[in-house]
Amino acid sequence: MKAAEKRLLEWLRDAHAMEEQAEQMLKAQASRIEHYPEIKQRIERHIEETRAQSQRIEGCIARYDESSSFLKDATGRMSAMGQAVGGMFSGDEIVKGCIAGYTFEQLEISSYKVLIATAQEAGDMETKRVCEEILEEEKAMAAWLDEHMPQTVQQYLQRDADSSDTAKR
Ligand code: MG
Ligand code: FE
C-alpha cells in the first residue's frame, strides 16, 4: 500500500469517527430544542445527512479493508469533540449550541478538504467524489447556521429580556 493510501485510510477512519460524534451531538441538540423550530428542523435534516455520510465513508473504507473491525479502531479518537457541546444546560444553550454547531461544521469542512487532496494524491477518484459531495453538505449546513445566527441571537435576547422561559432552548 502506498503511503498516501495508508494516510487516506487512516483519515477516512477519523472522518467516520467524526461523523459518529456529529450524529450524537446533533441528536442531543435537536432533542433539547423546544422553542426554535426552524433550527430544530434544520438540525434534524442534517442528522439524516450525517448518517448517510457515515455510511458512505464506511463504503470508502471497505474498499480497502474488508474486515468490519475498522469501526472499533475509530471510536474514541475524536471524542474530545464532544466537549463542543459544553454550552448545554446553560441559560443561553441555544446560542452556545449554534456556536458549537458552526465550529463542528468547520472542522468537518477542513477534514473533507484534507481527504479530497489525499484521495487525489492516492488516485482514489471514487473516495474523492464522495468527499466532495459530503463537503457540499457540510458547507451548506455551516452557511445555514451562519445566516441564521443574527436572528437567533436577536430572538434569544428578546425572550431573555422578557424573562421568558422560552429563551434558553
Ligand atoms: Mg458530517
Ligand atoms: Fe456536518
Please tell me the number of the ligand nearest to residue 145's CA.
Answer: 2
Q: If you ran DSSP here, which 8-state letter would residue 124 be given?
A: -
What does the pLDDT read at residue 85?
Answer: 57
Angle at 158 between CA 153 and CA 159, to 5 degrees: 100
Closest CA to 23 of 106, 88, 101, 87: 101
What does the pLDDT read at residue 76?
Answer: 53
How far are the Cα atoms of 70, 71, 102, 145, 149 from residue 142, in angstroms, in the given order?
29, 27, 6, 5, 11
What does the pLDDT read at residue 162?
Answer: 92
The answer to whether 87 touches 100, Cβ cutoff 8 Å, is yes
Residues in the chain, pLDDT under 70: 66-89
What does the pLDDT read at residue 82?
Answer: 52
What does the pLDDT read at residue 90?
Answer: 81
Please tell me the number of the ligand nearest to residue 101's CA.
Answer: 2
Domain ranges of the chain: 3-161
pLDDT in tens, 141-168: 999 999 999 999 999 999 999 988 899 9
What does the pLDDT read at residue 70?
Answer: 57
The alpha carbon of 34 and the centre of ligand 1 are apart by a number of angstroms equal to 23
What does the pLDDT read at residue 4?
Answer: 94
The alpha carbon of 131 and the centre of ligand 1 are apart by a number of angstroms equal to 10
H-helix segments, 33-124 = 37-62, 70-74, 93-122
The alpha carbon of 39 and the centre of ligand 1 are apart by a number of angstroms equal to 17
> Cell triple for residue 78?
475524536
What does the pLDDT read at residue 165?
Answer: 86
> Cell triple for residue 90?
446553560
What does the pLDDT read at residue 67?
Answer: 63
The alpha carbon of 22 and the centre of ligand 2 are apart by a number of angstroms equal to 7
The alpha carbon of 160 and the centre of ligand 2 are apart by a number of angstroms equal to 29
What does the pLDDT read at residue 80?
Answer: 43
Superfamily covering domain 3-161: Ferritin, core subunit, four-helix bundle (1.20.1260.10)
